[in-house]
């Protein structure tokens, strides 16, 4: 039956004793009887149960009572019932029913009586390669069926692989993947980036970096599982906290195992940092089938020790820096420097599922009082003045670049005395989301260092990052730099954007009509020729490279929505009956086209809005609908739900989402009830 040890959210605990529950509490709905508790975790209890209708043994995962009070979770629970119950495959633990009763929410599943793969891993440590490949092949076949139905597990690990008695023969149904139910219900959706769901030792780089979990994320988890069955340890297990281990998935190479080259190659593909390089579930399963006969006589490895140090990845590496000291007029949480994340105690690592908010560190905005005691900054560092100059010149002459260094000339000069060089550039126009970006720099010829300030401004709606910022060097290599304001990491390949010298920068949320900045000290080196022209060209080159990267129509990703979202489609049924709610789906349109699988928002709302909606509209408050068919629609006071009122042959729903102010649905029909 479903089993799992040390569970924190998505697995099923191992047997740990029987229940002393009274007879009244043993009923689960009208169809099931709870027999005994076999394990407990952070999300609830797992019971051995009986189907009253057939006397067949089943397993029931009963979620904790406090989850009943979560209306969003209950909504997701009910919404996913038909999807989960219809997911059937010999390699999956079937979900038979979802029960919502009083203060109980329960998932009723097949009973599997041979324990979990975690039990085997504890007892044997390692498996012979052929047996390990057979187990993983069956897991992949189960995943292939789920992926065909657009379900993503998100939490592949030995605890969630259940075994039937005699499993080593690898017969049909001997190895079965479980807990799609919890992974599907607890998460806010595949595009949400506001929460962290998974087990750090098994999480993919893209899930750790930005919360994106698609089928390639599951393949990565299976790769970690295979590695563990071969080595007796996960690839990045070692000293440190959950954060330390998670960070290694993004920034370090996978330690090589002493196995056959063909097997090593399969592992390398499944554990690639770039999700596009990983095979699909069926392709990977076919590779396992091909390898199993060739490795039939290979013995199990001795358990592999963790390396003394993990080699850095050859690709872009995530860098986590502590925030700098606050300015004198800013609040300070505590005296001294703030700790970098790597220095914080996030607890000892383990195999437990983590369901943890992803805290957003917001760099405080600088506020400079205009009085005699606080000196004004140089005007060329005042973003508002720069924006005004840029706007004026755009209107008058269509000039895209404003450079100022004394005398008000269009092209700043360094005066010929080797002094600092100042330059600035800005976007030609705002993006569809309302985002505008400007860059300014002060280059010091004596040190060869430029102080780069990147300003992000919003128009009609609040926006939030992270934002992609490309910072090239003067030559062909990326420059060395240090971020002194704002949170920044190297852009990871998991975002789907592979532009060189790219950074993921989060300067904090931007209020409507407001702006925030991020600052970096960039080592450019000496400039032999015209320093002014070189710095100006360098700024423009970085701005152009960023624009090119975020507008690439070949990229399919939900990363950097405030920069990449081009439009929003308002989707409704072609016909609705009067007196009933009008289902509305807001579909994001990216440079490569609309993404109906990851909607921005659905009305009536039964779950939390997508994290993408937070980034481009400040959340649900940035959404409003209005009647576009002459009184045929009733819109709620909050503007978030719509009801069809009267018959209409040609009705349209108007919508506003953040800076997207004039959205319209395709025409639809309202039919009279019973007509």
Where do the CATH 1.10.510.10 domains begin and end in the chain?
A: 117-295
* CA distances, 8 to each of 161, 300, 552 (Å): 16, 31, 39
DSSP 589-643: EETTEE-TTS-SEEES--SPPPHHHHHHHSSGGGEEEEE-STTSEEE-TTSS-EE
- More confidently predicted of 452 and 20: 452
Model pLDDT, residue 664: 93
> Can you tell me the distance from the alpha carbon of 303 to that of 46, in angstroms, rounded to the nearest whole number?
31
CATH number of the 117-295 domain = 1.10.510.10
**What SS3 state is found at 306?**
coil
Where do the CATH 3.30.200.20 domains begin and end in the chain?
A: 23-110
Residue 459, pLDDT above cutoff 70: yes
**How is residue 535 written in tokens?**
């710095």
**How is residue 30 written in tokens?**
């009208």
> Can you tell me the distance from the alpha carbon of 269 to that of 222, in angstroms, rounded to the nearest whole number?
11
- The pTM of the full predicted model, rounded to 2 decimals, is 0.49
Model pLDDT, residue 418: 65
> Can you tell me the distance from the alpha carbon of 64 to that of 40, in angstroms, rounded to the nearest whole number?
10
> Can you tell me the distance from the alpha carbon of 139 to that of 133, in angstroms, rounded to the nearest whole number?
10
Chain segment 561-599, per-residue pLDDT in tens: 999 999 999 999 999 988 888 999 999 999 999 988 888
Kindly name the residue from 89, 110, 138, 155 that is annotated as catalytic: 155
Binding residues for ATP: 61
Contact by Cβ (8 Å): 487, 505: yes
Bridge partners, residue 404, by sequence: none
Determine the average pLDDT of the residues in 508-530: 90
Q: What is the mean pLDDT of the chain?
A: 77
Nearest to 422 by CA among 437, 436, 401: 401
Contact by Cβ (8 Å): 426, 402: yes
**How is residue 332 written in tokens?**
């300070």
Q: How confident is the model at residue 343 (pLDDT cuts 50, 70, 90)?
A: very low
Listed in sequence order, the residues at least 6 apart from 295 whose beta carbon sits closer than 8 Å to its beta carbon are: 128, 129, 130, 133, 260, 263
Determine the average pLDDT of the residues in 348-367: 44
Distance between terminal CA atoms of the chain? 50
Nearest to 482 by CA among 523, 440, 428, 431: 523
Weakest mean pLDDT among 54-68, 343-357, 505-519: 343-357
Determine the average pLDDT of the residues in 187-202: 52
Binding residues: 61
The CATH architecture annotation of domain 360-365+377-550 reads: Sandwich (2.60)
Weakest mean pLDDT among 240-244, 343-347, 565-569: 343-347
Model pLDDT, residue 607: 65
> Can you tell me the distance from the alpha carbon of 150 to that of 300, in angstroms, rounded to the nearest whole number?
35
Residue 194, pLDDT above cutoff 60: no
Residue 187, pLDDT above cutoff 60: no
Contact by Cβ (8 Å): 246, 208: yes
* CA distances, 68 to each of 188, 242, 357 (Å): 16, 29, 20
Chain segment 209-237, per-residue pLDDT in tens: 776 778 999 999 999 999 999 999 999 98
> Can you tell me the distance from the alpha carbon of 438 to that of 502, in angstroms, rounded to the nearest whole number?
16
Model pLDDT, residue 371: 36
> Can you tell me the distance from the alpha carbon of 526 to that of 442, in angstroms, rounded to the nearest whole number?
14
Percent of the chain with pLDDT over 90: 36
Q: How confident is the model at residue 192 (pLDDT cuts 50, 70, 90)?
A: very low
Residue 128, pLDDT above cutoff 80: yes
- More confidently predicted of 26 and 539: 539
Contact by Cβ (8 Å): 484, 505: no
Highest mean pLDDT (candidates 35-39, 411-415, 457-461)? 457-461
- More confidently predicted of 34 and 419: 34
Question: Is residue 155 annotated as a catalytic residue, yes or no?
Answer: yes
Contact by Cβ (8 Å): 273, 493: yes
Query: Which CATH entry fits the domain spanning 565-671: 2.60.98, 1.10.860, 1.20.120, 2.60.40?
Result: 2.60.40
How many whole angstroms from its chain centre is CA 579? 38
Model pLDDT, residue 580: 86
Where do the CATH 2.60.40 domains begin and end in the chain?
A: 360-365+377-550, 565-671
Determine the average pLDDT of the residues in 438-446: 92
Q: Give all strands of the β-sheet with 104-110 in edge-to-edge order.
A: 27-28, 32-41, 44-51, 56-63, 104-110, 95-101
Query: Which CATH entry fits the domain spanning 23-110: 3.20.20.80, 3.40.50.720, 3.40.710.10, 3.30.200.20?
Result: 3.30.200.20
Model pLDDT, residue 667: 93
Model pLDDT, residue 348: 41
Residue 129, pLDDT above cutoff 90: yes
- More confidently predicted of 327 and 101: 101
């Amino acid at each position: 039956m479903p089993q799992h040890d040390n569970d924190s959210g998505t697995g099923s605990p191992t047997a740990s004793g029987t229940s002393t529950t009274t007879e009244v509490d043993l009923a689960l709905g009208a169809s099931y009887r709870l027999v005994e508790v076999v394990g407990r975790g952070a999300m609830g209890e797992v019971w051995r149960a009986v189907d009253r209708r057939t006397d067949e043994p089943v397993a029931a995962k009963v979620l904790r009572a406090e989850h009943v009070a979560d209306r969003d979770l209950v909504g997701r629970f009910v919404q996913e019932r038909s999807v989960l119950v219809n997911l059937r495959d010999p390699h999956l633990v079937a979900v038979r029913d979802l029960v919502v009763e009083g203060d109980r929410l329960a998932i009723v599943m097949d009973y599997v009586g041979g324990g979990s793969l975690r039990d085997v891993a504890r007892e044997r440590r390692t498996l012979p390669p052929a047996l390990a490949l057979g187990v993983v092949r069956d897991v992949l076949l189960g995943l292939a069926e789920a992926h065909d139905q657009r379900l993503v597990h998100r939490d592949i690990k030995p605890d969630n692989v259940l075994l039937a008695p005699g499993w080593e023969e690898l017969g049909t149904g001997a190895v079965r993947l479980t807990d799609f139910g919890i992974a599907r219900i607890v998460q806010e959706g595949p595009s949400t980036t506001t929460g962290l769901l998974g087990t750090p030792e098994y999480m993919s780089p893209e899930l750790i970096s930005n919360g994106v979990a698609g089928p390639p994320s599951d393949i990565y988890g299976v790769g970690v599982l295979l590695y563990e069955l071969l080595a007796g340890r996960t690839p990045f297990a070692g000293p440190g906290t959950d954060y330390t281990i998670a960070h290694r998935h993004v920034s370090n190479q996978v330690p090589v195992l002493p196995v056959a080259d063909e097997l090593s190659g399969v592992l390398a593909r499944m554990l690639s940092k770039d999700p596009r390089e990983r095979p699909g579930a069926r392709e990977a399963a076919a590779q396992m089938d091909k390898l199993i006969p060739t490795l039939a006589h290979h013995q199990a490895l001795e358990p592999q020790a963790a390396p003394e140090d993990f080699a850095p990845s050859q690709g872009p590496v995530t860098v986590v820096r502590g925030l700098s000291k606050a300015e004198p007029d800013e609040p300070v949480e505590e005296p001294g420097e703030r700790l970098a994340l790597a220095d914080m105690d996030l607890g000892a690592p383990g195999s437990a599922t983590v369901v943890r908010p992803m805290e957003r560190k917001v760099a405080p905005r600088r506020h400079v009082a205009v009085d005699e005691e606080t000196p004004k900054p140089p005007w060329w560092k005042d973003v508002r003045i720069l924006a005004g100059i840029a706007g004026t010149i755009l209107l008058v002459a269509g000039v895209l670049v404003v450079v100022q260094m004394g005398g008000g000339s269009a092209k700043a000069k360094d005066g010929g005395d080797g002094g600092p060089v100042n330059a600035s550039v800005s976007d030609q126009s705002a993006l569809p989301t309302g985002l505008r970006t400007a860059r300014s720099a002060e280059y010091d010829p004596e040190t060869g260092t430029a102080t780069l300030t990147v300003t992000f401004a919003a128009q009609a709606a609040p926006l939030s990052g992270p934002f992609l910022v490309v910072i090239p060097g003067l030559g062909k290599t990326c420059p060395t730099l240090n971020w002194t304001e704002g949170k920044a990491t190297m852009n990871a390949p998991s975002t789907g954007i592979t532009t060189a010298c790219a950074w993921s920068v989060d300067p904090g949320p931007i209020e409507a009509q407001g702006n925030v900045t991020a600052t970096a000290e960039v080592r450019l080196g000496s400039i032999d020729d015209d320093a002014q022209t070189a710095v100006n060209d360098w700024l423009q080159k970085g701005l152009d490279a960023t624009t090119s990267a975020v507008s690439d129509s070949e990229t399919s990703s939900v990363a950097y929505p405030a920069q990449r979202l081009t439009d929003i489609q308002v989707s409704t049924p072609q016909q609705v009956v009067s007196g009933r709610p009008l289902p509305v789906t807001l579909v994001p349109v990216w440079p490569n086209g609309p993404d109906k699988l990851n909607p921005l928002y659905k009305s009536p709302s039964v779950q939390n809005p997508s994290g993408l909606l937070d980034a481009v509209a400040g959340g649900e408050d940035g959404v409003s609908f209005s009647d576009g068919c002459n009184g045929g629609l009733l819109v709620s006071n909050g503007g978030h739900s719509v009801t069809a009122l009267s018959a209409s042959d040609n009705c349209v729903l108007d919508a506003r989402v953040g800076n997207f102010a004039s959205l319209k649905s395709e025409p639809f029909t309202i039919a009279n009830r019973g007509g």
